[in-house]
A and B are shown apart, each in its own frame.
Chain A
Amino acid sequence: MSNMILLGTRKGTVIFDRSNAGWVPRPIEHPGIPVCYAARDPRDGTLWASLDHGHWGPKLSRSRDGGSTWEDVLSLKYPQGARYIVKYLPTPDFNPAALVGQPEYKDATVFKIWSLTFGPAGQPDRLYAGTIPGGLCVARTTDGGQSWQAFTHGLPQQNAYDIVLRHGLDVSGDTLCFGGTTGNVYVSEDRGETWQCLGHHFPPVYSVRFG
């Protein structure tokens, strides 16, 4: 039974603790800063908050002492050459040969760290992150967020318009699976390094969970 509730809010991280008197909120952490994701790593109890500074870029904050003190973690960065679509997001009837309406691309820099998923118990310090606006890639850290690697092998890097929702990625041991809003589902059996497609024509996928 969990004794903690974490809220990521527009103005900071709110933590509630269970007590005999009911759920008791603590003073707000990261006051004034939008927190788009907050979660507790079930493996070692580390708390994570994804901060969404309006001016200073996305940052990850981590607490190893149950929320008493927090530290900045070196932030996730895209690899050189990452890009995103600025306009003309193609529709299903998009004609790649047409002279007009071609997508325009721009170099991508991390705008938001939208979700975090923790690796299995046997792989401490392994986390997976979902970001905006990246290409189709899965970012992984094996050292608790100090450094990140982005994997794209087996994932389409051109004409890919997949959007992965917050519950669209799950982890079970070395196996990862995610699905996107364009109906593609991918699975990796080597911790995200290479991917294969389970099908391209599902309805928009809202959630993926291992059974």
Chain B
Amino acid sequence: MPTVEMTRHLYRFFPVLENRTIEVPPGSVADVLRAVDEIAPGFSDYVLDERGALRRHVNLSLDNTVVFDRQTLSDHVSEGATLYIFQALSGG
């Protein structure tokens, strides 16, 4: 099962995700985020905008590779992969 790890900042809004291993079925990045949203309703609204695209200042990586498709989140999350969710250090 793929696992999901995220910045601690998100635990503040979704304490249910803290202190546990988040394991979800393999699939696209969109599928994985949907699965996290089922554990923590409202979660995807923090990471995605109303078009389903990744918010501008949020980054995702699959193991060591930054997720390529930020619009439709079609990158495949395979068995054993880890999806990392973190803030972009953007702006001035």
Which A residues form the contact surface with B (CB < 8 A)? 53-57, 59, 72, 74-75, 77-78, 107, 109-110
Tell me which residues from 1 to 46 in chain B have a Cβ below 8 Å from any Cβ of chain A.
9-10, 13, 42, 45-46
B47 at the A/B interface (Cβ < 8 Å)?
Answer: yes
* Given A56-B10, A72-B42, A78-B50: 18 more A-B contacts, CB < 8 Å: A54-B57, A54-B87, A54-B91, A55-B9, A55-B55, A55-B87, A56-B13, A56-B47, A56-B58, A57-B45, A59-B45, A72-B13, A74-B42, A77-B50, A107-B51, A109-B50, A109-B51, A110-B50
In the complex the two chains form, what is the Cα distance from A53 to B13 in whole Å? 12
Question: A57's closest neighbor in chain B, by CB?
Answer: B55
Chain A residues within 8 Å of B55, by CB: 55-57
Interface residues on B, range: 10 to 19
Q: For chain A, what secondary structure do more than half of its interface residues adopt (helix, strand, loop), or is it mixed? A: loop
Residue of B with least CB distance to A31: B12
Known contacts A72-B42, A75-B45, A55 near B57 by CB under 8 Å = yes
CB-CB < 8 A to B66: which residues of A? none
Query: Could you write out 18 A-B pairs with CB less than 8 Å apart?
Result: A53-B46, A54-B87, A55-B9, A55-B57, A55-B58, A55-B87, A56-B10, A56-B46, A57-B46, A57-B49, A59-B45, A72-B13, A74-B42, A78-B50, A109-B49, A109-B51, A109-B53, A110-B49
Chain A residues positioned under 8 Å from B88 (CB to CB): 55
Main secondary structure of the interface of B (DSSP, over half): loop
Most chain B CB within 10 A, of A57, A59, A77, A78, is at A57
A110 CA to B53 CA in the complex, in Å? 13
Neighbouring B residues of A77 by C-beta, 8 Å? 50
Which B residues are CB-close (under 8 A) to A74? 42, 45
Whole-angstrom distance between the Cβ of B13 and the nearest chain A Cβ: 7
When distances are taken between beta carbons in the complex, the residues of chain B under 8 Å from A72 are 13, 42
- B22 smallest CB distance to A (angstroms): 18
Ranked 4 nearest A-B pairs via Cβ: A77-B50, A109-B49, A56-B46, A55-B87
In chain A, what residue has the closest Cβ to B57? A55
Q: Which residues of B contact A57 (CB under 8 A)?
A: 45-46, 49, 55
A61 to chain B, nearest CB (A): 11
A107 to B56, CA, bound (A): 13
Q: How far is the CA of A74 from the CA of B46 in the complex (A)?
A: 11
Min Cβ gap B21→A in Å is: 23
